[in-house]
Amino acid sequence: MISLENVAMKLNGAQNIVITAHTNPDGDAIGSSLAMKHALESVGKRAKVVIDDKLPRHLSCLPDFDTIIRPPQTAEKIPCDIFLVLDTAPDRIGDTQKSFEGEMLNIDHHITNKGNPSCTYVDAKRAATAEIIYELLDIMQITLTKKIASCLYLGMATDTGFFKFANTTAFTMNAVANCLEAGVKPNEIAEFTEQKSYETVKTMAEAMNTLELFADGRAAGIFLNEELTKKAETTEGFIDQIRIIEGVDIAVLLKCNNARECRVSMRSKGANVAKIAESFGGGGHIRAAGATLNMGFYEAKSAIMAAITFALKG
Ligand SMILES: [Mn+2]
C-alpha cells in the first residue's frame, strides 16, 4: 500500500486529473469526488469527475454536481496525468476505465478492497472516503473552502447515517467541526438530502408492507419485486426504517432490477455483513455491505434469507 503523503506528492506533481467513483454512487462517492475536484481546482489544476451511472437527485445540492459526466464513448483513450479512483476498488467503476489513460491512484475505506500495492491507499478505520480526503487535503495544505467542506460534510454524514453509526469517531467529529467553521450549514444539507416526493413516501409505505422478520427475529427485510423497484425513484432511507426494529441485528433491502438481477443492501448492529456480501461476490464494511445477485426475485430472496439466517446461527 502507498502512503497518503505519496498520494499528495503525486497529485501535487500532476496538472490534469480525472476523478471517478463507484457505480450506484452514494453521498460519499459523489461528495469525495467533488471535494477533490474543488480542492484541485483551488490550487490551479484541472480536474473532472466522471461517473458511469445515473446520479441520485437528492445529492444535487452539492456545488458542481451538474458538471459530473458519464465516460465519453471514444475510440481512443483520453490521456490524463492521474486517474483517481475513490470509495471503491477499480473493479466497480463501470466503463470509466475504458475511456481514460493515466497513472492510477486509488483511495478507499472499504475493508474488502484488497488493493494494488503500487497505487492503493485503504484505511478501513475511516467512516468515509471523505475523511481520508480531509486528511489528504491537510497534507497538501489546501484550505478548506465552503465548497470543499460541503462535499466532505455530505460524504461523512451519509456514510455515518448522520453521525449515528458505530463508524463515527472523534476524528469524524473534528473534521465535521472544521467543515462547519468553513461555512457548512448542517440543517440545509439535511433538509435537501432527506427531502422526498409525495409519491416516494407512498411507495415507501408499500415497501414497508413487504416487511418480514426472520432468523428468529434477529433479521428483518423489505423485498421489492421488479414492479415496486421500478416505482420507487429512490430507496434512500428505507433500510434505516427497519434497522430500528427491536431485537434485529441485520436489516436487508432487496431490489429486483429484472428477471436476472437483484441488488441487496445490508446493515447490521454487530454481525459481519461484509462477509455475507462477499459470499455473493459483493463487498463493503462490517456493518454495511451489498451485492448484486444474478438471480430472479424469488431465488434472490430465499438465497439472501438463507445466508443471513446461517450467518446469525454461526
Ligand atoms: Mn464510502
Kindly indicate the confidence band of residue 244, based on its pLDDT and cuts at 50, 70 and 90: very high
Among candidates 103, 101, 88, which has minimal Cα distance to 33? 88
Distance 129 CA to ligand 1 centre (A): 5
What pLDDT score does 185 carry?
97
113-137: per-residue pLDDT in tens?
988 999 999 999 999 999 999 999 9
> Are 73 and 98 in contact, with CB atoms under 8 Å apart?
no
User: Quick one: average pLDDT of 254-267?
Assistant: 97
Q: What percent of the chain has pLDDT over 70?
A: 100
Kindly indicate the confidence band of residue 184, based on its pLDDT and cuts at 50, 70 and 90: very high
The chain-wide mean pLDDT, for the chain, equals 96
> Are 90 and 97 in contact, with CB atoms under 8 Å apart?
yes
Higher pLDDT, 300 or 74: 300
Distance 29 CA to ligand 1 centre (A): 6
Which range has the worst mean pLDDT, 42-46, 70-74, 157-161, 230-234?
Answer: 230-234
Among candidates 238, 243, 248, 221, which has minimal Cα distance to 312? 248
Distance 218 CA to ligand 1 centre (A): 26
Distance 216 CA to ligand 1 centre (A): 31
Strand partners, 257: none
Distance 76 CA to ligand 1 centre (A): 31
Distance 111 CA to ligand 1 centre (A): 11
- Phi and psi torsions of 218, nearest 5°: -95, -5
Distance 138 CA to ligand 1 centre (A): 19
Query: How many CB atoms neighbour CB 231 within 10 A?
Result: 15
What pLDDT score does 282 carry?
94
Cα 280 from Cα 290, distance rounded (Å) = 9
Distance 25 CA to ligand 1 centre (A): 9
Distance 99 CA to ligand 1 centre (A): 24
Distance 87 CA to ligand 1 centre (A): 5
Among candidates 78, 107, 81, which has minimal Cα distance to 95? 78
In the predicted structure, residue 103 carries a pLDDT above the cut 80: yes
Q: How many CA atoms lie within 13 A of 215 on its CB side?
A: 23
> Are 122 and 109 in contact, with CB atoms under 8 Å apart?
yes
Please give the domain boundaries of the chain with CATH numbers for all domains: 4-194 (3.90.1640.10), 198-313 (3.10.310.30)
Cα 295 from Cα 16, distance rounded (Å) = 41
Cell for 292? Answer: 448484486
Is the model's pTM score more than 0.85?
A: yes
Cα 115 from Cα 207, distance rounded (Å) = 37
> Are 121 and 3 in contact, with CB atoms under 8 Å apart?
yes
Q: What is the DSSP secondary-structure string of 210-243?
A: T-EEETTTTEEEEEE-HHHHHH-S--TTTTHHHH
User: Quick one: average pLDDT of 19-31?
Assistant: 96
What pLDDT score does 196 carry?
87
Distance 86 CA to ligand 1 centre (A): 9
Query: How many CB atoms neighbour CB 310 within 10 A?
Result: 12
User: Quick one: average pLDDT of 33-47?
Assistant: 98
In the predicted structure, residue 314 carries a pLDDT above the cut 80: no
Kindly indicate the confidence band of residue 237, based on its pLDDT and cuts at 50, 70 and 90: confident
- Phi and psi torsions of 84, nearest 5°: -100, 115
In the predicted structure, residue 49 carries a pLDDT above the cut 80: yes
Distance 152 CA to ligand 1 centre (A): 11
Query: How many CB atoms neighbour CB 273 within 10 A?
Result: 29
Distance 75 CA to ligand 1 centre (A): 32
What pLDDT score does 115 carry?
86
What pLDDT score does 113 carry?
92
Q: How far is residue 238 from each of residues 77, 123, 198, 280, 309, measured CA to CA in Å? A: 39, 28, 15, 22, 21
